[in-house]
Amino acid sequence: MKYLTIDTTTKVTAVSLAEDGGLIAEGFLHTSKTHSERLIPMLDQLLVAASWTLQELEMIGVVRGPGSFTGIRIGIATAQGLAQVLKIPLTSVLSLDALAWAGLGRREDIVPILDARKNEWYTARYRWAKGQEKAECLTPPQAIPTDLWLEQLKGLDRPICFVGDATVKYKTRIEEVLGDNAVIMPEFVSLPRGAYAARAIWQHWQETGIGELVEPFYIRFSEAEVNWAKKEEARRRTEHE
Amino acid sequence: MGGVGKGSEGHAMSSQTNDIVILGIETSCDETSAAVLVNGTDLRSHVISSQIVTHQRYGGVVPEIASREHSLHIQPVVQQAMDAAKVGFEDLSAIAVTYGPGLVGSLLVGVSGAKAMAYAAGIPLIGINHLEAHIYANFLDHPKLEFPFLALLVSGGHTHLIYFAAHGQYQVLGHTRDDAAGEALDKVARTLGLGYPGGPQIQKIAMDGDAQAFKFPRAMLEPDSLDFSFSGMKSAVLNTLNSARMRGETLNVPDLAASFQQAVVDVLVGKALRALERTGAKTLLLAGGVAANNLLRETLDKELSERKVHFVYPPPIYCTDNGAMIAITGYYHYLAGDFAPWTLNAAPGLGLEGLV
Ligand SMILES: [Zn+2]
């Protein structure tokens, strides 16, 4: 089965063409241009280079977050638009699940960290057991202050392998807290890649085998919603008094 | 499929028939909308999903929430429009989408979706200037409109007087130096506790008020200027309210609303008449969200019929943001062969000036 994956949840535009879980072509751009400018031209180039046509695609997989809110929406709108016209199923995985594949086969716990600004990360924790087809998710996706998460990981007292776009900026801090238990993968492994999404999507497709309605996975509410909820809460409290 | 680096310009015309079928998509602010238009006159479908209720609790449009809503609604809205028009993507000649001005996150949802659909369907993508589209909404019911004409664009974000010599050839004669007319109406509505969106609320409550009760200034600026300024007028209302409050008086809200609405309309009409005199144009097009205001329409209607100027305005459904106006503008761009590259990006600050 031939399929396309799109990951625009970070500053990297990552696209793959794959067949039955095997990577055929991969696009990776980490430039100053926007996803909007890069995405369709990259797809067009990959198709030409791989001598594939859009009409050969049988499924589209998109990474639906967490990550950049705008990036998530660009990826989903693009994947949806393509799937809608081509009349093929659409499916999705989480960015953190896809990044777990960067640590495939490693013995440490795999911890993807994505920059969530405000000194927080989008993160989760995975473990690859020997011979397993899929990483087990030990801590589900969350947005958490960086130092709080590092303290929690320190408490586990075991080696942790870090991947994700926040590894570069936070390398020193991670090593300060975790010492020898910290394994920080280099940037070319750490950043989202089409190859990871290709594997994660294939794994997910084998479990489901059916297209799905894909919605963004933000983890966070928008600031306006948070502030409104706070105000409502305060109002309710004063009413009770 | 297209070669490397090529944009959507390279594609051939739609195949089976000679019909020009345009799908128009609009997501620049708080409406997700799509429409299918055939040959510039036959509006086969028009779907508008409004977020007004979602934003009401915040007293205005929240950009991040608007983007989230668009993301959830674009696909079903487009599919509904296609189904209602009984067309498939293979029947389309091109897809037109708003790429600016507007909220960047919202624009990107529409641009990304439209781009992917056009690319997958192998048809051209057309990038539409939202302001131009508001004016072109008039062509939906008046396809034979003759150039030259003058357009008065009045919305929450814009107040423009534009002279059109021909399709795609126009000149901005005047624009607001501070608040847009719709913005001033919104702010005054909020101060009066009338809620969001402000324009329609003011219009509603003003019906029970006396437009002569308060004398608010009419900022006409220099005698030769066609620019607008509404912030001083808005401040006059706020000052009136404040000094009344200090004296412990309560003012009649319908009177305030009616008087302010009258002042805004007087300025808009005054400037439009000035521009007509100057250009000699014999047709005036009204456009934008505030074009739905009855007082503005009635006043212009009266003044223009006295001067034998042809007055055209869209029905209310085409005044607010909608996909039909994107489709009709796309139709004229299609005729001109004006297509966008696959690198098309959102342009939140897009103006009309650059297009002259
Ligand atoms: Zn508008």
Does A2-94+192-222 match A96-190 in CATH topology? Answer: yes
For the beta sheet containing B21-26, the strands, ordered from the edge strand earlier in sequence to the opposite edge, are B42-50, B31-38, B21-26, B94-100, B125-129
Is A218 in Cβ contact with B109 (below 8 Å)? Answer: no
Which among B1, B72, B75 has the least Cβ separation from residue A44? Answer: B1
Residues of B in contact with A79 (CB under 8 A): 116
Torsion (CA) B161, B166, B168, B170 in degrees, nearest 10: -30
- Does the model's pTM come out above 0.80? yes
3-class DSSP state for residue B339?
coil
CA-to-CA distance for B178 and B230, rounded, in angstroms? 7
Whole-angstrom CA distances from B22 to A16, B10, B96, B97 are 31, 17, 7, 10
CB A114 within 8 A of CB A67: yes
pLDDT for the residue B2: 37
User: How close is the Cα of B315 to the center of ligand 1, in Å?
Assistant: 14
User: How close is the Cα of B23 to the center of ligand 1, in Å?
Assistant: 18
CA-to-CA distance for A24 and A2, rounded, in angstroms? 9
Is B119 in the A-facing interface, judged by CB distances under 8 Å?
A: yes
Is B60 in the A-facing interface, judged by CB distances under 8 Å?
A: no
Pairing of strands B94-100, B125-129: parallel
Closest residue of chain A to B347, computed from CA coordinates: A36
- Compute the half-sphere exposure of residue B260: CA atoms within 13 Å on the CB side of its CA: 37
CB A127 within 8 A of CB A155: no
What is the ipTM for the molecules in this complex? Answer: 0.95
Is B71 in the A-facing interface, judged by CB distances under 8 Å?
A: yes
CATH of A2-94+192-222 among 3.40.50.2000, 3.30.230.10, 3.30.420.40, 3.20.20.70: 3.30.420.40
pLDDT for the residue B1: 37
Pairing of strands B42-50, B31-38: antiparallel
Ranges of residues in chain A whose predicted pLDDT is under 70: 240-241
Q: Give the residue extent of every domain in chain A.
A: 2-94+192-222, 96-190
Q: What is the pLDDT along chain B (356 residues), one digit of tens a residue?
A: 333 445 676 554 445 579 999 999 999 999 999 999 999 999 999 999 999 888 888 888 899 999 999 999 999 999 999 999 999 999 999 999 999 999 999 999 999 999 999 999 999 999 999 999 999 999 999 999 999 999 999 988 889 999 999 998 999 999 999 999 999 999 999 999 998 788 899 999 999 999 999 999 998 888 889 999 999 999 999 999 999 999 999 999 999 999 999 999 999 999 999 999 999 999 999 999 999 999 999 999 999 999 999 999 999 899 999 999 999 999 999 999 999 999 999 999 998 865 54
Q: pLDDT for A118-139, tens place per residue?
A: 999 999 999 998 888 889 999 9
Is A216 in the B-facing interface, judged by CB distances under 8 Å?
A: yes
SS (H, E, C) chain A: CEEEEEECCCCCEEEEEEECCEEEEEEEECCCCCHHHHHHHHHHHHHHHHCCCHHHCCEEEEECCCCCHHHHHHHHHHHHHHHHHHCCCEEEECHHHHHHHHHCCCCCEEEEEEECCCCEEEEEEEECCCCCCCCEEEEEEEEEEHHHHHHHHHHHCCCEEEECCCHHHHHHHHHHHHHHHEEECCHHHHCCCHHHHHHHHHHHHHHHCCCCCCCCCCCCCCHHHHHHHHHHHHHHHHHHC
Of B67, B99, B95, the C-alpha closest to B81 is B95
Is A222 in Cβ contact with B112 (below 8 Å)? Answer: no
B5-8 own/partner pairs: CB under 8 Å, 24+ apart: B5/A41, B5/A45, B6/A44, B6/B342, B7/B125, B7/B339, B7/B340, B7/B341, B7/B342, B7/B343, B8/B118, B8/B119, B8/B123, B8/B124, B8/B125, B8/B339, B8/B340, B8/B341, B8/B342
Closest residue of chain B to A228, computed from CA coordinates: B58
Q: Which of B107, B117, B339 to mutate to test the interface with A (most CBs of A within 10 A)?
A: B117
Residues of A in contact with B102 (CB under 8 A): none
Helix orientation angle between B253-279 and B198-206, rounded to the nearest 10 degrees: 110
Of A63, A44, A64, the C-alpha closest to A195 is A63
CB A43 within 8 A of CB A16: no
Of B301, B331, B327, B326, the C-alpha closest to B313 is B301
Is B65 in Cβ contact with A224 (below 8 Å)? Answer: yes
Residues of B in contact with A42 (CB under 8 A): none
CB A35 within 8 A of CB A181: no
Residues of A in contact with B116 (CB under 8 A): 40, 77-82, 85
CATH of A96-190 among 3.40.640.10, 3.30.420.40, 3.20.20.70, 3.60.15.10: 3.30.420.40
Min Cα–Cα distance to chain A from B353, Å: 24
pLDDT for the residue A232: 86
Is A219 in the B-facing interface, judged by CB distances under 8 Å?
A: no
Min Cα–Cα distance to chain B from A44, Å: 7
CA-to-CA distance for A190 and B304, rounded, in angstroms? 67
